[in-house]
Structure 1
Amino acid sequence: MNGRSTRQYAFLAATTRLFALIALITASVLAKDSAAALTMVSIGCVWLAATAAERMPIPRLVAIPIEAALVGVACALAVPDTLQVLAALTFPPFTAGLRRGTRGAVVSLACELLALSLVSMVSYGTMSAEASRTTLTWVIFSAGLGLIGGFIHATYREPIDPLDSYRDAQALIRELIGLSDGLSRGLEPVTISAGIANAVHDELPVRGLVVHVPRFEQLTPIINDHGGSAEQQAAAEDMAARAFHQGVLLIDESAFALPLSSGAGTVAVVSGFLSPGLDPVALGLSRTLGELAERLEPEVVHLDTALLFAAFRDAATAEERRRLAREMHDGVAQEMASLGYLVDDMMAEATSPEQALRLQVLRERLSSVVGEVRQSVRTLRTSVGENESLGQAIGSLARHLSSTSGVPIQVTLDESTQRLRPEVEAELMRIAQEAMNNAVRHAEPSVIEVQCTVAPPRAEIVVSDDGHGVRGRREDSHGLEIMAERARLIEGDLSVDAREPRGTVVSVTVGGPRTERQGRHNAANQAPRQNPSGSGRVLQR
């Protein structure tokens, strides 16, 4: 138990004793029981000493038995004259349970009972039947309060070892790794969803099919081969949303929306249209979909597991990024800034122009490195929010980078109202961020253009510049490898190509064929538009 917990439990114990003392003395005065009132005053002195002892370096296993024994002695001496004071027996086990758990409560209860019994036998022999019944009642009550105090101690105490949570995580992750050997389908949501879509296609003559998965309170397509018109797609999305929230199969003429559940809620919704000319009643659409939902239960469990794993991975990496950002900001950045101040002092005391020039170069280099570290801190802390779309997050990054670097960054957005899965948005945003940072740092461009197209489950981001173009890989640079790894995590397609007449085009696509991306590459290879203001701007269509 740390210092904060100790103060909290000491405050709660002191408050308990104070109100218990006020209540028992008030009851004694109202009953005109002078013996009980005097006994409670003496017990109050014991509790006052116990409260003071809790603020001193006195072992709790010494203070707890002494307090309990003194309360037992005081109650035993007062029993021949009054039974009302026996209620005081209930509070030492409760306060001991707060501070030492169930073991402390048991020790306190045993000590006060032992003191009560010994003093009673020495003073007046055996207790009367009424005194024995009253004592038994309050002992049972004190045992219950002691258990409550022990429960509070066990539930709300802070961990003794700050690494306890990491050790628990280690055990769970090792267990997950062991279980992963038995996962025949892997943990990739897109692959599992494609299997569900294929099963529906094999069972029903559908013209178009969409597999939706939850994203917060909304749905996002993870598989989309819908062949209908825009109006039909909108109707299918609306029906899927209603099926998700109601948890029931919906059929409207040839359209349907089938919620798939794993037992812990709706995991996905499959929506689509039957091929033209088919009669849903004659086809037995409702019965067929119901049977299909039962057969797909194993695949739904696989999909739910994959989505949970993706959410866990994102949460873990987000916390690690925040931790690294804090360490970089509070450690490396601060230390380097301090070195800059030291160089300033040395420049003021330079003994020759040559020395001053060298110190000036060193100061500029330090300022540049500090700026890069702070930019990296911002990169680590940035994420796509629940209410901010992927394009808006990229536009915000572009504006900030343009304002700090002076390089114009033009962002063109073409976004659907639907959202990609959170892990896909996060990886795409960081790929775009890395591509823009690389262009600013290494290419010396006059302008950077970013195109962001989102139509879930498809999305494409193209970052092009008119800088130096593709060069050999530096030994200390891992940016391309990191971007490629991020693309692989979301089953994306990353390419880095030369731009004519000069420059580089970085493109990442998810959920769509490469031919679509190549068309955008051709558009990106056109001459860049000039932005005299030098500030980033977002063009949305």
Structure 2
Amino acid sequence: MRIAPDLRIAAAARGFVLLALGGPILWDRNVSAAVLLTALGTGWLLALSLELRAPRLRVPLVVLDAGFVGLVVGTDLSSQAVLGALAVPPFVAGLWRGLRGVLLALSAELTAVVVVGVASGGALSAEQSLTVFTWVAMGLALGMVATFVRGALRDDDPTAPYRHASDLLRELNHLSVGLSSGLEPRSLGGVILSTVLDDIPAAAISIHVPLDDHLAVLAAKSLSGGDLDRCADFAAAAWARDQPVVEDGSFAFPLEGHRTTIAVVSGAVPSGSSIGPDELRHRVGRLQLALEEQAVQLETGLLFEAFRDTATADERQRLSREMHDGVAQDIASLGYLVDALAAQAPTPEAESQLGMLRERITAIVSEVRRSVTTLRTTVGSSESLGTAIVGVTRNLSQSSGIPIEVTLDEQAQRLRPEVEAELFRITQEALNNAVKHAECRTIRVHCQVAAPYAAITVADDGKGLGEARSDSYGMGIMRERAHLIDADLAIEEPPGGGLTVSVRLSAESGHPPAAPTPETKQVSTTR
């Protein structure tokens, strides 16, 4: 069994103190002090055994160990030979729990010494009090040293980040019981917008959150005639100034989270509204204070989502490495073995069968490589959704030999990262299905993004949907992904044949995306 460095240090400190105290006691033949020292040694040996076998008990053992030492020392304060043991529990507690453990140990042993000392021989004398205080002060100093040692040991321990993350995740699981509003940012953002609309009847309203060096739409609502582009401009102005902006019937104000500004709410009242500039400014200020609690909830949801996305991306990368370096290489090696057998085939029939097996192995290797590409391709922070789609279609076209035409119509403003990720995965699944099952000659992709709106269509000229296999989950997964971002997924078989998969994301108004801009471009990924 590998013993942790902090446990070795704690055992060594206890052993050293026992030897340092035991020498003078044996020299003076102090029987009562020897009995107390034996009790301390027995208790520390038991504590060491528990610390070794049950690391989770180290925190309660900090208090129990300190209380036990205080109990033993307080039994006979006239025997000053064992008072030095009071310095050990704070040191060990500093190794286990840092400064918090040191303070717990000092409190426990001081309480035990005073209670037992008073119960045994009445009030402590001035000399006894001074001696106890001296050794407790020494314990505090050693505890601070142990806290520093603990930090140094953790810096050298490769498992320390995992143990720390484990503690945080355990605490998060415990706290999640009280998160009655949930952790989904879009839902929390929608609640905030509803609260604002209850106080300010706006024709258009949106909530933006930071994404790298710009703002992204988290949620938006628009009535007929509402101008979400103006909302975006005012949101950028309020974010840059970090203060509310009210002008010409439009407004924007930042939302303060636990420690920093986490979002901006912006909107515009309809023309002819009875709300004047002063009244609008007053309502904005009132809302900014009223939404403090909901802003903290939104911040928590955004942090949790960022953590979840990072963990998911890391796991996808790990799986892609395992598939590329493990499964793909093993299957490819089987192909080389089949080639060797085919070269020595005893009959033409055997050679033909081995050739068919070689073709099947080649197809499986291609499928594994496509899966690796699927796992590794993501929408990065520096590239747009359309750019990521072009990248995956280029790889699929090159590996499958099927021409894939991509039409992009994107505006500069980005969608939220989690929304882009789900739209990208839906598109990726639709493309993979077309390549693997449609037996098509051409695939066409149309991607239109004007945040908070988006529409993506994947159409092929293949054999259509066909009968669903019992082991096929692609369509169900696409529907689940669309549901996560409140998007509409449609799967249709046009009269002329083939299959069309469309996913649309829009605000409650149902307005279509803006007309094509000069950024619209045609991309051909024909092999």
TM-score (norm 1): 0.66
**Is residue 2:339 matched to residue 1:362?**
no
Aligned to 2:216: 220
Distance 1:432 1:204, change over 3 A: same
Contact 2:246-2:277 at 8 Å conserved across structures: no
Sequence identity percentage: 42
Aligned to 1:174: 173
Equivalent position SS for 1:387: coil
Q: CA deviation at 1:515?
A: 7.7
Distance 1:60 1:370, change over 3 A: farther
Whole-Å separation in 2 of the counterparts to 1:306 and 1:60: 41
Distance 1:268 1:449, change over 3 A: same
Amino acid at match of 2:494: R
Aligned to 1:10: none
Q: CA deviation at 1:152?
A: 4.9
Aligned to 1:34: none
Aligned to 2:233: 238
Aligned to 1:190: 186
Aligned to 1:253: 248
Q: CA deviation at 1:292?
A: 1.3
Aligned to 2:383: 388
Equivalent position SS for 1:225: strand
Deviations 1:375-408 (A, max 9, x none): 1011111111111000110011111111111111
Whole-Å separation in 2 of the counterparts to 1:269 and 1:512: 18
Aligned to 1:308: 303
Aligned to 1:398: 393
Aligned to 1:136: none
Equivalent runs, 1:151-162 vs 2, <5 Å: 151-159=150-158
**Is residue 2:436 matched to residue 1:423?**
no
**Is residue 2:195 matched to residue 1:199?**
yes
When the two chains are superposed, the root-mean-square deviation of aligned CA atoms in Å is 4.1
Whole-Å separation in 2 of the counterparts to 1:469 and 1:204: 49
Whole-Å separation in 2 of the counterparts to 1:265 and 1:435: 40
Task: Decide which of 432, 455, 475 is 1:460's aligned counterpart.
Answer: 455
Contact 1:253-1:280 at 8 Å conserved across structures: no
Deviations 1:468-503 (A, max 9, x none): 001111122211111112112212221211122100
Aligned to 1:285: 280
Whole-Å separation in 2 of the counterparts to 1:101 and 1:194: 47
Aligned to 1:447: 442
Whole-Å separation in 2 of the counterparts to 1:267 and 1:530: 37
Whole-Å separation in 2 of the counterparts to 1:201 and 1:189: 18
Distance 1:176 1:438, change over 3 A: farther
Aligned to 2:149: 150
Whole-Å separation in 1 of the counterparts to 2:225 and 2:382: 28
Equivalent position SS for 1:270: strand
Structure 1 portions without partners, runs of 5+: 7-58, 70-96, 104-138, 521-528, 536-541
Whole-Å separation in 1 of the counterparts to 2:10 and 2:175: 41
Structure 2 portions without partners, runs of 5+: 20-90, 98-137, 516-521
Aligned residues: 410
Aligned to 2:51: none
Distance 1:315 1:397, change over 3 A: same
Task: Decide which of 274, 289, 298 is 2:293's aligned counterpart.
Answer: 298
Contact 2:434-2:460 at 8 Å conserved across structures: yes
Equivalent position SS for 2:415: coil
Amino acid at match of 2:216: T
Distance 1:429 1:514, change over 3 A: farther
Q: CA deviation at 1:295?
A: 1.6
Q: CA deviation at 1:433?
A: 0.6
Whole-Å separation in 1 of the counterparts to 2:334 and 2:251: 67
Q: CA deviation at 1:278?
A: 4.6
Contact 1:460-1:507 at 8 Å conserved across structures: yes
Whole-Å separation in 1 of the counterparts to 2:173 and 2:10: 38
**Is residue 2:415 matched to residue 1:411?**
no
Q: CA deviation at 1:234?
A: 4.5
Distance 1:477 1:514, change over 3 A: farther
Amino acid at match of 1:157: D
Contact 2:222-2:508 at 8 Å conserved across structures: no
Amino acid at match of 2:318: R
Equivalent position SS for 1:259: strand
Amino acid at match of 1:245: A
**Is residue 2:258 matched to residue 1:263?**
yes
**Is residue 2:433 matched to residue 1:438?**
yes
Q: CA deviation at 1:263?
A: 3.1
Distance 1:474 1:215, change over 3 A: same
Distance 1:319 1:169, change over 3 A: farther
Whole-Å separation in 2 of the counterparts to 1:228 and 1:371: 50
Amino acid at match of 2:177: G
Whole-Å separation in 1 of the counterparts to 2:198 and 2:164: 47
Aligned to 2:109: none
Q: CA deviation at 1:171?
A: 2.0
Deviations 1:189-232 (A, max 9, x none): 223222222222221243322221222231112233356989x6
Q: CA deviation at 1:512?
A: 4.8
TM-score (norm 2): 0.67
Task: Decide which of 496, 500, 503 is 2:495's aligned counterpart.
Answer: 500
Whole-Å separation in 2 of the counterparts to 1:530 and 1:237: 29
Whole-Å separation in 1 of the counterparts to 2:155 and 2:303: 28
Contact 1:240-1:257 at 8 Å conserved across structures: yes
Amino acid at match of 1:424: V
Whole-Å separation in 1 of the counterparts to 2:267 and 2:314: 39
Equivalent position SS for 1:508: strand
Distance 1:194 1:160, change over 3 A: closer
